[in-house]
Amino acid sequence: MTQKLRVAAVGVGNIFQSLHAKPLMEHPEVELVAVCDTNLERAQAVAKEHGIATACADYKELLGRDDIDAFDICTPNLYHSLIAVDALNAGKHVFCEKPDAVSPEEAKRMADAAEKSGKLLMTMRNNRFMPSSKCLKQYIDEGSMGDIYTGRCGWVRRRGIPGKGGWFTTKELSGGGPLIDLGVHMIDLAVWLMGNPKPVTVTGATYTKFANNELSDSIHSSFGEKQEDGTFDVEDLATGFIRFDNGATLQLEFSWASNIGEEMKFVELRGTKSGAFIKNSELQIFSEAAGELVDIHPVLGKRGGYSAHGAHLDHFVDCVLHGAEPIIVPQHGVDMIKILSALYRSAETGREVVL
């Protein structure tokens, strides 16, 4: 491989432009050599803005190019697995926005293609790279929380429906609403912090109550492209419950819109030695010391928020170029999509689903 990782970006809408472009362009070991989007004018505009030589509308034009080492995929969810499998089969490494795929079968196809090709497949799990997450993970790994036996996680918005009427709210393209959009983030973070126990049963419920509500108070409403009189056939709120093989449990809540006081993403874990609560980017630990109850507020590094996406992209580059050990592997994606799919199935049937 050349000294730099030569990357082609596929899907250069809001997600790419706001969260991927800058980390890739500023990385000293990355060269962004091509951009692709079904909206060719958008691809050409991005290429012109960043001085990228190639802009095209069909990713298949890039598969056979020897001057491309990796694909960065930021398309609507439905196309993640299709493009990833084609790229892996063509001998390219793949970094993909979440969710991994819209079905467990497609996630497994991606994992199998990565194994067969010997190339790296990694899907965005930026919340693992937040300073609060990294601090808590080390605290847990040191044994300071004891046995983590239950928790809850979520990402709830008061009014923050992305791209209303566009692909975000069209089930065929997205695979679902906030459960697959936001749940993949915080369920992954919670399960990772808990030590990756195996889920054995799930129960879920979904609701659609704000399809006709046009109010917004969240920056996240700007993601995607709104379409007047477009489709809205996904949930705007999902709740659930996961039981693991070690007896631990996890409560879930994800919403794009609901009547709450504030937008918040969170993971709360309860252990026999300590409890912990990550709210947005802040971490609190609740424990005992010197015969008293104590609250611990770690002083964390300033790198957080959207820069966690950059930290994950940096990790991907480090794994490809320097052989770093990936902390996110394809099986994590397969397991995640199995959980989300089972939660949707439980919501449809009103019954617990055994994994």
Q: Are strands 70-73 and 5-10 parallel, antiparallel or unpaired?
A: parallel
For residue 192, is pLDDT > 60? yes
What is the model's pTM?
0.95
Helix (H, G, I), strand (E, B) or coil at 160: coil
| Nearest of 114, 79, 117 to residue 97 by alpha carbon | 79
Copy the structure tokens of residue 288. 């005992």
- DSSP characters over 239-262: EEEEEETTS-EEEEEEESB-S-SS
**Domains of the chain, start order:** 5-124 (3.40.50.720), 128-308+336-354 (3.30.360.10)
Place of tokens 């019954």: 351
For residue 276, is pLDDT > 60? yes
* Residues 316-340 pLDDT 10s: 999 999 999 999 999 999 999 999 9
The predicted structure's pLDDT at residue 3: 84
The predicted structure's pLDDT at residue 224: 85
The predicted structure's pLDDT at residue 351: 98
Distance of CA 218 to the CA centre of its chain: 18
Copy the structure tokens of residue 283. 């971490």
For residue 303, is pLDDT > 80? no
| Nearest of 309, 326, 330 to residue 124 by alpha carbon | 309
Mean pLDDT in the chain?
Answer: 96
Contact 157, 254 (CB under 8 A): no
| Nearest of 116, 220, 103, 58 to residue 94 by alpha carbon | 116
Mean of pLDDT values over 236-262? 98
* Residues 36-80 pLDDT 10s: 999 999 999 999 999 999 999 999 999 999 999 999 999 999 999
The predicted structure's pLDDT at residue 306: 47
For residue 301, is pLDDT > 80? no
Residue 92 and residue 119: Cα distance in Å, rounded?
7
